[in-house]
Every structure is written in structure tokens, then in C-alpha cells.
């Protein structure tokens, strides 16, 4: 059995976008980019998107000859497989090293564009301000940063584009189902989002693509986007750069708040329920950071009750880590009520973990 990537094509959609697509096994993977963006058919994006599914299935990955792959990227795939093989238990994925068959493309020159993935959240704004080189384009991904059918897309796009436009950075809209293709193979987005963003970078032919980090250097657990693995998705022409591990989330928020207009458009919510729903875990921990830093943002409803904070249920250690950072800040800022509420939320996480361990012990695992 083989996971075959075939039928690569570039078509124009009815809305005037260019759609680059191929079949990954039985799944059609597509990327839609603006009509004037220069694109070419290559296997780079598809081999990046298809590698982890093939490793999960434990079958060879084979690309059709018209989907040739950069030699540097092909070489990097050995290294990235060696990492994900050993991360398999931590990511709860049975990753195996698999052969990758593809025609080798001639090495392409490095493009000049520097893109940064940007949804208008804390990490994206921070990287926009602190990038090691000027960003030429921001990329807003529909299907990743927002659901494909999210009615808030137009508003979020317009607000982000306006802020960026004032700084001379165009916002490039990209739509893709790469997130859902991974899911079809049993891969949560958290496991493959570095590969997904790298695939978009290759479709866009970026010279450098910045992926904003969600955590600091202290939180180097196995994850879909990681300072070790993100650069391994690079080719000769496209360098993938993981950026922003030097600052905690509250430090990023403090930094971006110094720039005019950011707090007016800041959007962190993934719930597709208003601009920022104000009730989800991401909204709440951002709202409490605003409170602790003495900041106000019209993009968020006011944090009227700390009960909602105390009721937050961090679902994994990444979320628990954010809550712990906020709790430490609350202690440092002598905000005892907020510290207590955040400690209560953390206790929920600890109890949840404890219950999981008890269950595993009872099951003899």
C-alpha cells in the first residue's frame, strides 16, 4: 500500500482565485490564492502536507512525476521523519519512517518575499513587530485561522488589512482545506499545523516564511510547530522560520499594546461566535492579561466576573501553561482575586490529569 499524491493542477475558481490542488490518497487537498499571485505547480507543498499522514499510516509516500520536489526539502524529510518517529508516543501517533518517492526538481533560487502568518492574534502581531527582517506580506489563512464558512471572515480580514496597510504590508488571503485533510488521516491540527503552514508557504513560493511561536523556549515539548522541526520543512527557495520564543504571552501582549491600533483589532477567538466571544478559554486568558497589565481593548467584552476564569478547563498542558503564566503574573501584580481564580482553573487541570492517570492505572496501562 502506498499513499499516492497525484493529479496536481492549477485552476481558476469561479471567484477568480487560483486553486492549486492534488489528490492525497482519496482526499483532495487544495489551496486558493489571489489571482495575481505567481504560482507554479510543484510537489513541495504536497509532500509537506502528505508526509505525516503517510508516517501515521506507515506506508510509502509517492508523488506523481509532475509533482517534483526540491532536493533540499527531500533531504530534510529524512531528518523530520527521524524527529516525528521519536515524538510519536508523546503525540499519541504511531509514526513510522517511510520511503518518499518523488521526482527531483532543479533547485530554485530563493525568492525575496518574507511572509508571516497573521490572523490578528497576539503571536502574529508580536512577530509582525519583532521580525528579524522586514515582512513583505502577511498571510491570513481561511480554513486555518478561521473556519472556511466563518461569517466573521470579512470583518476580521478588513480590520487586519487596514492595520497592516497603514504600515505598508499587504494582507494576502489564502483559503485551504489542509487542516481537514490532516484530520481525515487521524491527525489533530495540533500535530500537523507546522507542516500545514509550511505547505502554504511553499504554495506561495515565499523566500522566508515566519511562523509565530505560541510558547517560549522553556516549553519545548513535542508539537506540530516547533523551533526544531519548522525549519526542516524548508527548501532551497523557501526558508521556514519559527519566531518569537523569547517572550511569554503577557510580554507579547505588553509589547504589541504599545503600538497604536493593535488593541482595537486584536482577535484571538477560535469559536466563530463574534469577533472575540469573551467566553472561550483563549478569550478569557487574554482578557485577564489585559486586566493584569492595566490595558483595555474594545475588541473584547469587559471581564466582569472572575468566576468565568475559575471555571476555565485547560484541556492540555499548552493551555495549562498559559493559565500558569497568567497566575504568576497575577501574583506578581498583587491581584489576589485573579490569582485565586486562575489557581482554581489550574486545579481543574491538575484534577483532570489526575483522573486520567487513575483511569490508566485501573486499566493496567
Partner 1 sequence: MTMAVRNWRVDERPDAIRVSADVGDTNLWFTLPPGTRAPEAADSFCAMALIPAMALGEDLDLSALPPLTAGYVERLEAVQEIWACWNPFLRHVEIRSSAGDAPPVAAAGTVAFFSGGIDAVFTALARRPVLDRLVLINGFDFSMSPDEFTAALTRTSRLADALGLPLATIETNWIQFTRHHGIARNTTFGSCLAALGLALASERVIIGSSNSYARLTPMGSHPILDPLWSNGATSVEHHGSHATRNEKLMTIADHPELLRELWVCHVNPVANCGTCPKCLRFRLALALLGKERLAFPGVTDDPAVAWCGVIRYRSERAFLPEMIALARARGRDDVARRLIRAERGVRMRGFLRDVDTLFLGGALHRRTATAEASDLYPWGRGPLPES
In the complex, the residues that contact partner 1 under the rule CB under 8 A are: 79, 82-83, 85-87, 89-90, 216-218, 220, 227-228, 245-246, 347, 350-351, 353-354, 357-358, 361
Contact (Cβ atoms closer than 8 angstroms) between residue 138 and residue 264: no
| Nearest distance in Å: CB 24, partner 1 | 25
Task: Give the span between the Cα atoms of 112 and 154, in whole angstroms.
Answer: 29
Nearer to partner 1, 158 or 358 (CB): 358
Contact (Cβ atoms closer than 8 angstroms) between residue 3 and residue 57: yes
| Nearest distance in Å: CB 357, partner 1 | 6
| Nearest distance in Å: CB 87, partner 1 | 6
Contact (Cβ atoms closer than 8 angstroms) between residue 249 and residue 287: no
Alpha carbon distances (Å) from 13 to 32, 188, 234, 305, 312: 8, 28, 28, 47, 42
Task: Give the span between the Cα atoms of 78 and 227, in whole angstroms.
Answer: 17
| Nearest distance in Å: CB 195, partner 1 | 16
Nearer to partner 1, 95 or 275 (CB): 95
| Nearest distance in Å: CB 5, partner 1 | 25
| Nearest distance in Å: CB 354, partner 1 | 5
Nearer to partner 1, 1 or 362 (CB): 362
Nearer to partner 1, 167 or 347 (CB): 347
Find, among 102, 112, 104, the residue nearest to 51 by Cα. 102
| Nearest distance in Å: CB 128, partner 1 | 19
First to last CA, the chain: 31
| Nearest distance in Å: CB 271, partner 1 | 30
Nearer to partner 1, 106 or 364 (CB): 364
| Nearest distance in Å: CB 281, partner 1 | 21
Nearer to partner 1, 41 or 83 (CB): 83
Beta bridge partners of 101: 62
Nearer to partner 1, 246 or 315 (CB): 246
Find, among 145, 255, 139, the residue nearest to 208 by Cα. 139
| Nearest distance in Å: CB 111, partner 1 | 24
Nearer to partner 1, 80 or 256 (CB): 80
Nearer to partner 1, 46 or 250 (CB): 250
Nearer to partner 1, 333 or 353 (CB): 353
Amino acid at each position: 500500500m502506498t499513499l499516492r499524491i497525484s493529479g496536481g493542477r492549477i485552476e481558476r475558481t469561479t471567484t477568480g482565485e487560483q486553486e492549486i490542488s492534488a489528490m492525497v490518497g482519496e482526499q483532495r487537498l487544495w489551496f486558493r490564492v489571489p489571482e495575481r499571485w505567481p504560482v507554479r505547480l510543484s510537489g513541495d507543498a504536497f509532500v509537506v502536507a502528505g508526509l505525516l499522514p503517510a508516517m501515521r499510516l506507515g506506508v510509502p509516500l509517492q508523488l506523481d512525476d509532475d509533482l517534483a520536489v526540491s532536493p533540499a526539502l527531500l533531504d530534510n524529510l529524512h531528518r523530520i521523519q527521524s524527529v516525528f518517529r521519536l515524538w510519536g508516543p508523546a503525540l499519541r501517533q504511531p509514526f513510522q519512517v517511510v520511503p518518499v518517492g518523488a521526482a527531483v526538481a532543479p533547485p530554485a533560487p530563493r525568492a525575496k518575499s518574507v511572509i508571516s502568518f497573521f490572523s490578528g492574534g497576539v503571536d502574529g502581531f508580536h512577530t509582525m513587530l519583532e521580525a528579524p527582517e522586514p515582512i513583505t506580506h502577511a498571510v491570513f489563512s481561511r480554513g486555518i485561522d478561521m473556519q472556511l464558512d466563518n461569517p466573521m471572515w470579512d470583518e476580521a480580514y478588513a480590520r487586519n488589512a487596514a492595520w497592516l496597510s497603514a504600515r505598508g504590508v499587504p494582507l494576502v488571503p489564502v483559503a485551504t482545506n489542509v487542516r481537514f485533510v490532516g484530520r481525515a488521516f487521524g491527525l489533530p491540527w495540533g500535530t500537523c499545523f507546522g507542516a500545514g503552514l509550511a505547505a502554504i508557504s511553499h504554495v506561495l513560493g515565499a523566500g522566508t516564511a515566519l511562523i509565530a511561536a505560541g510558547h517560549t523556549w522553556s516549553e519545548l515539548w513535542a508539537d506540530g510547530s516547533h523551533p526544531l522541526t519548522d525549519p526542516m520543512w524548508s527548501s532551497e527557495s523557501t526558508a521556514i522560520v519559527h519566531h518569537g520564543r523569547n517572550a511569554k504571552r503577557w510580554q507579547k501582549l505588553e509589547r504589541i499594546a504599545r503600538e497604536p491600533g493593535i488593541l482595537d483589532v486584536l482577535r484571538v477567538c477560535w469559536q466563530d461566535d463574534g469577533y472575540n466571544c469573551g467566553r472561550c478559554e483563549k478569550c478569557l486568558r487574554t482578557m485577564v492579561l489585559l486586566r493584569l497589565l492595566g490595558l483595555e481593548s474594545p475588541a473584547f467584552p469587559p471581564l466582569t466576573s472572575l468566576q468565568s476564569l475559575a471555571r476555565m478547563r485547560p484541556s492540555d498542558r499548552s493551555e495549562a501553561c498559559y493559565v500558569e503564566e497568567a497566575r504568576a503574573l497575577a501574583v506578581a501584580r498583587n491581584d489576589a482575586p485573579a490569582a485565586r481564580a486562575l489557581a482554581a482553573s489550574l486545579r481543574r487541570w491538575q484534577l483532570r490529569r489526575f483522573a486520567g492517570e487513575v483511569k490508566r492505572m485501573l486499566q493496567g496501562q
